Every structure is written in structure tokens, then in C-alpha cells.
Amino acid sequence: MKKVVVIGLLVIGFVVTALLISKAGRRDSLHEQTRFLMGTYCTIQAVGPEEDVKIAVRKAFGRMQEIDDRFNPLNPGSPIYAFNEKNAPIRDRDILEVVELARQVSEECAGAFDITVYPLGELWGFYPGDSSGLPAGESGVDPWGEAHLPEKKEIDDCLARVGYKNLVFEDGEIRKLNPDVHIDFGAIAKGYAIDEASKILRSEGITSALIDAGGDIYAIGEIEGEGWGIGLRNPRGEGVIGVVQASDLAVVTSGDYEKFFEIDGIRYCHIIDPRTGYPSRSLISVSVIGPDAVLADAWATALFVMGPEEGMKRVEQMPDMETVMVTPDERILYSSGLKENLEVIGQ
Ligand code: AMP
Ligand code: MG
């Protein structure tokens, strides 16, 4: 684990400005661009000469757009749509890579993470059928119009279509044992996209950048001689619960505040336990800090479902991964790799 410092500090945000002179004598400065991709606002900040950064950022966003198009189950042109709706095998190399990673995580967390959870998300009404690609509220579709509490029988029927073991990897393609199995990359695609964007930025010579896909973040290098300060959002209020300083690290968060509805004071969120069919409620937020955003993304969702005891035990066995969890009674739990580097300010 590279330099990671958690500062237990309530800070709303901070502004970083950098003005440096590059070796070539051109002025390096911090540039920022935002695009709506993968259902969220994505921002890339990068340091370098303006023209070089513009080109690098355009290429990085281009790669993210490509991933968004191909991994989106609501896009009728995507291999995922064809797999889900027409039982067509998947041969796309990027998707094969991510499905294989997803399968490994599913094995390692005893099925708490499972990309075949899609039918349950549909049943609970977390997929509004809005494939406009526009931000929620701007498309004219009510994003939560369908959310409801399903009957037990409906959940059981759905569970019969869920299970990563229904996916068969053979001869360079993925097929399914049961045609009713549907997959969804909502828990892992953003991580993959920011990893890919970071590779492009690096290959374009960028050594300091921050890629933020709706709060899932990858930090390249340092800014002003320090790791990038990344605020961990307070899941139940304004501001942040802490700041992680990250350099060449991903910080990815899963929370119950992203998509949810409430009935009789109980919050039902979009992260579903594939083993029970019900939204997970043992944590309200999980951040994972590690070198690969794709794994951090998958594990943030997995740990959210595993819960604090089992989840923390698992993280402690993984040398490259740290976590910050928030329990339903709003206690903040840190893994030991973070505690060693804990710097508390203002408490
Ligand atoms: P994240 O915000 O990364 O935790 O991803 C949440 C999204 O992943 C949901 O909106 C669903 O599309 C999908 N999802 C929900 N529950 C699971 C699960 N247990 N395993 C894998 N994907 C899930
Ligand atoms: Mg995730």
C-alpha cells in the first residue's frame, strides 16, 4: 500500500491549484474537464501543458465512452444487451476480462458480489428503463417510479435466475446455462473505466491527475508534492467523514444513499444480497482503497453486502486493500493498514 493517510476531519472540499514550470520550459497547470458518462458526472483533473492535457483527457474520456457503450445493459447496441435479451455469447475482450475478474471476486466473497443480480434489481425497480443516457431528472423519466417492495414469491422466482455459476467461460466466449440469466456491470464498470482512463493518461505522459467517476476515484501521482486529498462523503449528511491522501491509488465507495426508497421507515437500497434477494442493510457506506479501481469497485459492493464483521476480516487478509466502513448507527470503522497511518486533526 502506497502512502495513505486518513485525516479524521470534517471538511467540505478543498481547492487545489498548481502552477509549475515543466522541464521543457512550458507552463504546467491544472486543467479540469467534466462529461456525463456511465450515468454520472465524470471529471478529470490533470497537470501539464494545456494542449497536451487536452489531448490526453479527450482520449481518456473517449475510452470511458467506449466502455460505457459496450458495458451498458440498456444500450440495445451493446454485447451485454445481446447477451441478456438474445442469449448471444460474449466475445468482446474487455468484457471477458471484467467478467473473469467479477467471477474471481464472487468466488472470494462466497457470492456476496454477483453480476447476475440484475433480475433482482429490475424486480425491486432500480432500473427505470431509462436508456436516454441523460442525468436523472433531465430525461423526463421518473427514475423511481417503479421502485416497490416485492412479494416473497417474486423474489424466490428471481433467485432461480441469479448465480454467477450460470456463466460458462469456454473457447474465448461467455455463455449462460440458463437463458433467463441477465448480467449487469453497475458494480464494477466504473472502476474498470477509471483504470483504463488512467492507463491512457499515463501513456500520454501525464504524471499527476485525478479521475472522478461520480465519487469513484483514481489518483495518479501527487499534487504539490503530496497525495491527492480525496474526501469520503458523509452518507447521512453534508460534507465528508474524512479525507484520504492517495497517490497511484483508487478510492471507490458504495453507499445506500445513491439509489434507494423508504417504506415504513426502512430504507431499501440498490445493492442487493444475491443470496437472499433483499437489499443489504448491514452497512450504509463502504470505501475501498487499493491499487486497482476495478477490484476496489467490486470489493466495495461485496463488502457492503458482507457486512462489517465478515467484510473487515476479509480486508485484513488482503495486503493491498484497505477500507473505511460506516455502520447503520454511523460508527466509522477503519482497516488496520489505515489505522497505522492515521493522522487525526481537529478532534
Ligand atoms: P456500486 O455502487 O458499485 O456498489 O454498484 C451498485 C450497482 O451494482 C447496482 O446499482 C446494481 O446495478 C449492481 N449490484 C447490486 N447489488 C449487487 C451485488 N450484490 N453484486 C454485484 N452487483 C450488484
Ligand atoms: Mg462497486
Q: Write the DSSP string, 103-152.
A: HHHHHHTTTSS-GGGHHHHHHHT------S-SPTTTSSS-TTTT-----H
Q: Which residue has the higher pLDDT, 237 or 89?
A: 89
Band (pLDDT 50/70/90 cuts) for residue 340 is: low
**Taking residues 69-76, what's their average pLDDT?**
93
User: If you measure from the C-alpha of residue 259 to the centroid of ligand 1, how many angstroms do you get, rounded to a whole number?
Assistant: 11
Query: Which atom belonging to ligand 1 lies closest to the Cα atom of 304?
Result: 4
Does ligand 1 have an atom closer than 6 angstroms to the CB of 115? yes
Q: Cα(62)–Cα(58) distance, rounded to whole angstroms?
A: 6
pLDDT tens string 50-72: 999 999 999 999 999 999 999 99
The best mutation among 270, 297, 305, 323 to test binding of ligand 1, ranked by most ligand atoms within 8 Å of the C-beta, falls on 270
Query: Which atom belonging to ligand 1 lies closest to the Cα atom of 274?
Result: 19
- Picking from 18-27, 35-44, 224-233, 271-280, which range would have the lowest pLDDT averaged per residue? 18-27
How many C-beta atoms surround the C-beta of residue 160 within 10 A? 11
Which ligand sits nearest to residue 269's alpha carbon? 1
Band (pLDDT 50/70/90 cuts) for residue 83 is: very high
- Picking from 134-143, 163-172, 326-335, which range would have the lowest pLDDT averaged per residue? 134-143
Q: Cα(320)–Cα(173) distance, rounded to whole angstroms?
A: 30
pLDDT confidence of residue 125 = 86
Average pLDDT, the chain: 87
Which residue's alpha carbon is nearest to atom 15 within ligand 1? 271
User: If you measure from the C-alpha of residue 141 to the centroid of ligand 2, how many angstroms do you get, rounded to a whole number?
Assistant: 25
Residues with CB under 5 A from ligand 2 (ion): 187, 297, 300-301
User: What are 74's three cell numbers?
Assistant: 440498456
Which ligand sits nearest to residue 184's alpha carbon? 1
pLDDT confidence of residue 146 = 60
Residues 6+ apart with CB under 8 A from 224: 16, 18
Does ligand 1 have an atom closer than 6 angstroms to the CB of 254? yes
Which ligand sits nearest to residue 102's alpha carbon? 1
User: What are 337's three cell numbers?
Assistant: 493498514
Q: Cα(72)–Cα(192) distance, rounded to whole angstroms?
A: 13
User: What are 70's three cell numbers?
Assistant: 459496450
Does ligand 1 have an atom closer than 6 angstroms to the CB of 215? no
Q: Which residue has the higher pLDDT, 262 or 313?
A: 313
Band (pLDDT 50/70/90 cuts) for residue 130 is: very low
Query: Which atom belonging to ligand 1 lies closest to the Cα atom of 115?
Result: 21
Which ligand sits nearest to residue 304's alpha carbon? 1
- Picking from 46-60, 91-105, 233-247, which range would have the lowest pLDDT averaged per residue? 233-247
pLDDT at 5 over 60: no
User: If you measure from the C-alpha of residue 117 to the centroid of ligand 1, how many angstroms do you get, rounded to a whole number?
Assistant: 8
Band (pLDDT 50/70/90 cuts) for residue 126 is: confident
Does ligand 1 have an atom closer than 6 angstroms to the CB of 147? no
Could you identify the residue written with the cell 424466490? 156
Share above pLDDT 90 across residues of the chain, in percent, rounded to a whole number: 74
Q: Using CB atoms within 10 A of its CB, is residue 214 exposed (0-12), middle (13-18) or buried (19+)?
A: middle
Nearest Cα residue to 310 out of 275, 264, 343, 260:
275
User: If you measure from the C-alpha of residue 347 to the centroid of ligand 1, how many angstroms do you get, rounded to a whole number?
Assistant: 34
